[in-house]
Structure 1
Amino acid sequence: MAAQPTIRQIDGAPFAATLVAAPAANAVAFVLNARGVRNIWVTDSTQPNARQVTAFTQDDGQDLTSLAFSADGRTLYFVRGGGPNRAGETPNPTSDPAGAEEAIWRVRLDGTPATRLMEGSSPTPSSRGTSVAFLRRGAIWMASPSSGDSVRVSQLLRMRGSGGSLRWSPNGEQLAFVSNRGTHSFVGVYTLSSKALRWMAPSTDTDNAPVWSRDGSRLAFLRVPYAGRRLGFRATRSAQPWGIMVANAATGEAREVFRATAGRGSAYWAIVADNQLQWMAGDRIVFPWERTGWVHLYSVSANGGAAKELTPGNGEVEFVSTSPDGTRVLYNTNIGDIDRRHVMSVVADGSAAPVPTASGAHIAWSPVYSSQGSTYALVSDAKQPAHAAVLQTSRWNMLAPESMPADFPAASLVTPTAVSLRAADGVTSYGQLFLPPNAQPGKKYPTVIFLHGGSRRQMLLGWNYGAYYHHAYALNQAMALRGYIVLSLNYRSGIGYGMEFREALRQGATGGSEYGDVVAAAKWLGARPDVDRTRIGLWGGSYGGYLTAMGLTRNPELFKAGVDIHGVHDWNVGIQTFVPDYDVHANRLATRTAFLASPMAQVKNWRAPVLLIHGDDDRNVRFVETLTLIQQLRAQQVPVEQVVFPDEVHGFLRHESWMRTFEAAIDFFGRKM
């Protein structure tokens, strides 16, 4: 019998991310994370085959993000390192005594080695010339060429608030930005020649996502009405309707050209794009709207009028970009294939139906057009992890195939199937079922339910497009290859199945209704003839850790063991992580409801063994959540094991952290199940 692939082999393929296209030179860049070693690859008009242009060599947890090309497409700027936590500390998951930083780097595509330029984030090269605007601790700065390869940096604006969403005008003479004031935000325009700042129709609302008209005379931006402090972890099905404003950049005067209707779609839901609004040819503005209960794209005249739906159907639009000439929108969607993603394009004026790019059982996201009109995307399927690809004759062809390790066991992986489940309250949830290869009829197998985090996530019928869930898919595969049945559950409050599913009532801190889907999954599995109902385990991270702990406290008779990775155990603590001044005494009923929807409310029922895993620089779920739980479980003499990563964050930055986590989980389930 052939040896089983190890988790290090299964999770050993590089993960592709951050695909961007240059405005010229037919250049496209992307990041490959190869077992924690992150590097940038490019293809352009000089060398159509993808090539690596940076030379980092360590699994040091220093991410590469914010890729941005110069106007001529010959220079690429990027950020190395993560942003600070609330204490001002930059992620340093290797505990390097020298510390870590968030810095902007530059690499030219002529073969010159990459160089560090300055501390900062969000590099935004000018649409003309060689200057680069960027952010440093919330302030807006400018870098300009100096002698040789050096740059001269200076703070561009000194003002209140935190800057963001930097957008150059087409002629490079003005910079639009958002000034976040905490309770509200303004859109501003700074003119370099006069050093003058003008606010665009300031109001009490949240203005964001500025986009320039193609001639540079006007700006469109979103206006979201002030709604008070949002605590999160609860359903928001409606709100005061948001709108789209168009402002005269010279005067700051603005008028509303679109307003969402009351009810469905009145609460804004964002797409994944460089900008939420796209100013297209013919002065059409393309934007997302949930009017039908699905996130679709619409188009409206910049002068106002009726909005036209561009992407009809039951499914969501997620990643969006545009053609260089502004006539077409490129996007990915699960319309017609709810548990995958496919790339489509549509004309911005809605005069023709959307056109698919490629068919097949793949998952595609982050689509972009190169400056010469070629289509690129990140692509995966059930057996092939995320990789950059170019569309050729209606097929996705992999870039950088040489980056795939020789020992990656694609042929050994199983292909999951789609399932649906019905909870006791009538809500339908969804999932992917992984069966052991060569399963024997009549044999009962141990089973694990995987619970994703978020909760605004969707697991798919293949390798996921998120780095966290790329890793999770690898563990699900490893468990199946080791003789487990695995159900990856898309419980209510996740994305992909419409607004009502995502904004499920009584979710999270208002009742934990999604836990009903976990119970439904356990009972559905227990009724299968191939499942050993006495050996059903749970594993998940973050929100999935919360649901794992819920299972071990609410229904100890159903679950044999659990792996809880940085889970939320008391919603009131979880809310304070994101809203530090949250007062648990302000609304005692809401506080009590949140606690009763938490694992700690019934922790005394916990008796199954559990493996707890956490990094102590977690910025999403505070380390104290695990400290408090383990203290209680020890007092109850519950078998507890732990893996702790000093200085690691929520979505583990080091590949070795993931490997230690998964090796511990496989060993734990092997002993306890």
Structure 2
Amino acid sequence: MNLRFLGLALLLNAASPVLLPATAPAAYAQQKQNITLEDIWQKGTFSAKSVPGFNWMKDGRYYSSLAKGDLVQHDVTTGLPVQTLVAGADLKLPGQTQALPVDGYSFNADETKILFSTATEPIYRRSSKSYFFVYDRAAKQLVPLSAGEGKQLYATFSPDGKRVAFVRDNNLFVTELATMRETAVTTDGELNKIINGGTDWVYEEEFEFAQGFQWSPDSRQVAFYRFDESAVPEYNMQKWGPLYPQDDRFKYPKAGEKNSTVGISVYDVAGAKTVKMDVGPVADQYIPRILWTQVPNTLSIRRMNRLQNQLEILHADARTGQARVVLTDTDAAYVEVNDDLRYLEGGKQFLFTSEKDGYRHLYLYDMNGKLVRQLTKGNWEIASIEGFNEQKGEVYFTSTEESPLQRHLYRINLKGKGKTRLGEAGNGVDAVNISPDTKYYLNYHSQAGDPTVVSLRDGQTGKLVKVLEDNAALRQKLAGYNLGKLEFMNFKTADGVDLNASIIKPANFDPAKKYPVLMYVYGGPGSQTVKDDAGGGIAFTNYLWHQLLAEQGYIIVSVDNRGTGARGSAFKKSTYANLGKLETQDQAAAARYFATLPYVDKARIGIWGWSFGGYMTALALTKNADVFKMGISVAPVTNWRYYDTVYTERFLKTPQENPGGYDDNSPVQFADQLKGKLLLVHGTGDDNVHFQNSIAFVDAMVRANKDFQTLYYPNRNHGIYGGNTRLHLYRQMTNFVLQNL
């Protein structure tokens, strides 16, 4: 589930919050404009600029992007266009006069050929299908990738640029570019049964990848997934519109139900031979990642048990399929999967991150899984590995070392020495995009309430080379609006739990007055809504909506409860096997704490959230009904039995093993305790958190004779967007807050 994150000792207590700079003195607030919903959701008044379509080119000096149909090369040190690599007018098929309207592209390794995509249509969160075409830059010739019928998925050049692998109709294909001869690697693909080269719904959503194949570094082999989802129960989601609604049936394993049986095979291109890898005798397990090592014919396979508390790294011989376990990572609760496994050149070592000492840190191992050394250590976490300089033996990573609210870039060598923070000192969040040779990196820096600044920086020193986008115009525009101050604070609940929070007060805040409080919550495992970035830990659009409400006289608060991220494994995993219990206790405790502040109207505290936050809202208004006057629950899980296997069982075990963990904190079970005003919102086309969740909650509230309001959006998915949808939704939400809080 993804809508699915200052050391604590340095955070000041509630009596002296950390104030961020105001946009202008409050005395001038009456001269400024108020934000409107149309500004946020229709006019794009506050849209931030970035560096669009940025793709590093092979020498690290240039990047490319699509601009009005042309593929343009830019000098990375200036951001200025240098040349047009391919004119959109040249993208014509032989005999055609109309150029293709391309929407994506990728180069082969030597940048002599380009794959262009067109007519791309999304499938789920990370998957899409397109028509792909191969463009030869020297010959200026464009040809279709495939002569077969139907769109293709995940088209990818081999490292030597001689072939392209892709998926169509659940089968894997390889096209030889010299002859454009297409070979079917698999032929048994079938909708809702067998998937080759792609992933099923739950892997795509929860393990966060959709392409299920990888070329070997020498281009001789393709490793690929095979999913047999025949036994997985189908979910039927109706699509409204025609005289008779259409059924959309897809495989969705709910908690405790059967998963796909997953296998890994390797296809040898020259020999046209497929070898199945030995992933062990247990069918009911996960294979959340595969990755080619730097050793020829050696494939790395990560295997995980169904409860996800044991992760094993296997090394498999691609020629025979034989595999051995080289490393095992275990946890009393669960082990998380990420992309931080890196195999180093020379084939002798690999990097891996683990939470085994209580915080996610970086470790170096030899190829037999023997620990060489722990590279980082401390009461802070690695956020992700960002790059690696093979020549100098240096690892680049972002971490929370300065504060759980911040992210900054660091470099350390393989001896665990020389750790250096790159970039300028200061607060905020840095998201980076490092060139393949680590000579430069793009830094996307933001602070709470302040738009992103995109800069190019030196990969060794972190010094500024050039600001590519400063969003000065947006910053100046925001200064003309009645924006409230954003404060970060740390407080202790009555139970002695230290929690981080953010608070937005009206621009004309008067400490002698009493204000209603609206709390925004997500609260799911490993997440954060309290972070020093542009939106203060949330989407910038939600930050602006919160400012709109502050203009109307509301204080907006967000609190990161137990179970959230960036504060170590113990804090995050304290909610294991009892999802929702401690989280809602903390939110209720936070509401009680804010109710003690002299400027808060304790009888007017509300709460709202989306997805996991919608679940938290529904639970808060039932199990903690005396605390909250109203709530807005958007796209909530209302019973974890309705959600998918991978996410739910990671945090709750299976319902067969832990029925109380599922039922003791289900809003459905406590509908009769509802007291406050509730607005329940859901999209009927939500393939992620099914509309079934809201139906069950509504049914329970009707049985309990409780009053509530509902708002549903036909055929809208979990994000509830498209056309005027967001404008309409937030207008209804705004009205509900104004009328009930």
TM-score (norm 2): 0.72
Within 5 Å, which residues of 2 pair with 1:560-575?
560-574=629-643
**Is the alpha carbon distance of 1:564 and 1:586 closer, same or farther for their aligned partners in structure 2, counting shifts above 3 Å?**
closer
**Is the alpha carbon distance of 1:381 and 1:636 closer, same or farther for their aligned partners in structure 2, counting shifts above 3 Å?**
same
Paired amino acid for 1:618? D
Corresponding position of 1:306 = 371
Corresponding position of 1:81 = 121
| Deviation, structure 1 residue 536 | 0.8
8 Å contact from structure 1 (residues 13, 404) kept in 2: no
1:204 aligns with 2:270: no
1:172 aligns with 2:241: no
Provide the C-alpha distance between the structure 2 equivalents of 1:348 and 1:54, rounded to a whole number of angstroms: 44
Secondary structure of the structure 2 residue equivalent to 1:312: coil
Within 5 Å, which residues of 2 pair with 1:647-666?
647-654=715-722, 656-666=724-734
Provide the C-alpha distance between the structure 2 equivalents of 1:519 and 1:506, rounded to a whole number of angstroms: 19
**Is the alpha carbon distance of 1:357 and 1:222 closer, same or farther for their aligned partners in structure 2, counting shifts above 3 Å?**
farther
**Is the alpha carbon distance of 1:603 and 1:259 closer, same or farther for their aligned partners in structure 2, counting shifts above 3 Å?**
closer
Corresponding position of 2:13 = none
Corresponding position of 1:503 = 573
Within 5 Å, which residues of 2 pair with 1:314-463?
314-323=379-388, 325=390, 327-348=393-414, 350-371=416-437, 373-385=439-451, 388-391=454-457, 394-395=463-464, 399-400=468-469, 409=478, 412=481, 413-414=483-484, 416-423=486-493, 425-452=495-522, 454-463=524-533
Which of these residues, 598, 601, 626, is aligned with residue 532 of structure 1?
601
Provide the C-alpha distance between the structure 2 equivalents of 1:668 and 1:9, rounded to a whole number of angstroms: 19
Within 5 Å, which residues of 2 pair with 1:79-228?
80-84=120-124, 102-103=129-130, 119-136=151-168, 138-143=170-175, 145=177, 154-158=183-187, 162-164=196-198, 165-180=212-227, 182=259, 185-204=262-281, 206-214=286-294, 216-224=296-304, 226-227=305-306
Corresponding position of 2:91 = none
Larger deviation: 359-368 or 554-563?
359-368
- 1:561-597 superposed Cα distances (whole Å, 9 cap, x missing partner): 11111112223333589789xxx9984x944552331
Provide the C-alpha distance between the structure 1 equivalents of 2:183 and 2:710, rounded to a whole number of angstroms: 47
Which of these residues, 279, 303, 309, is aligned with residue 344 of structure 2?
279
8 Å contact from structure 2 (residues 655, 662) kept in 1: no
| Deviation, structure 1 residue 192 | 0.9
Provide the C-alpha distance between the structure 1 equivalents of 2:602 and 2:69, rounded to a whole number of angstroms: 45
- 1:398-456 superposed Cα distances (whole Å, 9 cap, x missing partner): 54568976985267545533323444554433222222224112112111110116443
Which of these residues, 298, 320, 335, is aligned with residue 268 of structure 1?
335
Provide the C-alpha distance between the structure 1 equivalents of 2:654 and 2:350, rounded to a whole number of angstroms: 45
| Deviation, structure 1 residue 369 | 2.0
**Is the alpha carbon distance of 1:295 and 1:46 closer, same or farther for their aligned partners in structure 2, counting shifts above 3 Å?**
closer
| Deviation, structure 1 residue 649 | 1.1
Paired amino acid for 1:342? H
Paired amino acid for 2:565? I
Paired amino acid for 1:645? Y
- 1:48-104 superposed Cα distances (whole Å, 9 cap, x missing partner): 52779999xxxxxxxx9997543134746669432259xxxx99xxxxxxxxx7325
| Deviation, structure 1 residue 606 | 1.8
Larger deviation: 527-536 or 330-339?
330-339
Paired amino acid for 1:659? L
Provide the C-alpha distance between the structure 1 equivalents of 2:611 and 2:48, rounded to a whole number of angstroms: 24
**Is the alpha carbon distance of 1:553 and 1:303 closer, same or farther for their aligned partners in structure 2, counting shifts above 3 Å?**
closer
Provide the C-alpha distance between the structure 1 equivalents of 2:715 and 2:69, rounded to a whole number of angstroms: 23
Larger deviation: 639-648 or 72-81?
72-81
**Is the alpha carbon distance of 1:399 and 1:634 closer, same or farther for their aligned partners in structure 2, counting shifts above 3 Å?**
farther
**Is the alpha carbon distance of 1:478 and 1:43 closer, same or farther for their aligned partners in structure 2, counting shifts above 3 Å?**
farther
Within 5 Å, which residues of 2 pair with 1:510-529?
512-529=581-598
Provide the C-alpha distance between the structure 2 equivalents of 1:473 and 1:649, rounded to a whole number of angstroms: 22
8 Å contact from structure 1 (residues 506, 513) kept in 2: no
Paired amino acid for 1:193? A
8 Å contact from structure 2 (residues 135, 143) kept in 1: no
**Is the alpha carbon distance of 1:455 and 1:385 closer, same or farther for their aligned partners in structure 2, counting shifts above 3 Å?**
farther
Corresponding position of 1:70 = 108
Provide the C-alpha distance between the structure 2 equivalents of 1:426 and 1:341, rounded to a whole number of angstroms: 27
8 Å contact from structure 1 (residues 277, 286) kept in 2: yes
Paired amino acid for 2:344? W
8 Å contact from structure 1 (residues 549, 599) kept in 2: yes
Paired amino acid for 2:171? A
Corresponding position of 2:671 = 603
| Deviation, structure 1 residue 167 | 2.3
8 Å contact from structure 1 (residues 7, 475) kept in 2: yes
8 Å contact from structure 2 (residues 529, 560) kept in 1: yes
Which of these residues, 607, 618, 630, is aligned with residue 549 of structure 1?
618
Corresponding position of 2:254 = none
8 Å contact from structure 1 (residues 339, 459) kept in 2: no
**Is the alpha carbon distance of 1:672 and 1:653 closer, same or farther for their aligned partners in structure 2, counting shifts above 3 Å?**
closer
Provide the C-alpha distance between the structure 1 equivalents of 2:87 and 2:431, rounded to a whole number of angstroms: 24
8 Å contact from structure 1 (residues 9, 407) kept in 2: no
Provide the C-alpha distance between the structure 1 equivalents of 2:368 and 2:654, rounded to a whole number of angstroms: 48
Structure 2 unmatched ranges of 5 or more: 1-29, 89-101, 189-193, 199-211, 229-258
1:621 aligns with 2:689: yes
Provide the C-alpha distance between the structure 1 equivalents of 2:624 and 2:70, rounded to a whole number of angstroms: 47
8 Å contact from structure 1 (residues 618, 648) kept in 2: yes
Paired amino acid for 2:39? Q
Look at both structures and tell me which one has the larger radius of gyration over its CA atoms.
2
8 Å contact from structure 1 (residues 369, 375) kept in 2: yes
Structure 1 vs Structure 2: percent identity of aligned residues? 21
Provide the C-alpha distance between the structure 2 equivalents of 1:437 and 1:141, rounded to a whole number of angstroms: 59
**Is the alpha carbon distance of 1:347 and 1:406 closer, same or farther for their aligned partners in structure 2, counting shifts above 3 Å?**
closer
- 1:512-541 superposed Cα distances (whole Å, 9 cap, x missing partner): 221101111101110111211111110100
8 Å contact from structure 1 (residues 30, 388) kept in 2: no
Paired amino acid for 2:298? R
8 Å contact from structure 1 (residues 563, 612) kept in 2: yes
8 Å contact from structure 1 (residues 376, 389) kept in 2: yes
8 Å contact from structure 1 (residues 431, 490) kept in 2: yes
Secondary structure of the structure 2 residue equivalent to 1:102: strand
Paired amino acid for 1:13? S
Provide the C-alpha distance between the structure 1 equivalents of 2:639 and 2:716, rounded to a whole number of angstroms: 22
Aligned-residue CA RMSD in angstroms?
4.4
**Is the alpha carbon distance of 1:378 and 1:221 closer, same or farther for their aligned partners in structure 2, counting shifts above 3 Å?**
farther
- 1:279-309 superposed Cα distances (whole Å, 9 cap, x missing partner): 3467321111111111222111224422422
TM-score (norm 1): 0.79
Provide the C-alpha distance between the structure 1 equivalents of 2:357 and 2:348, rounded to a whole number of angstroms: 25
Paired amino acid for 1:155? A
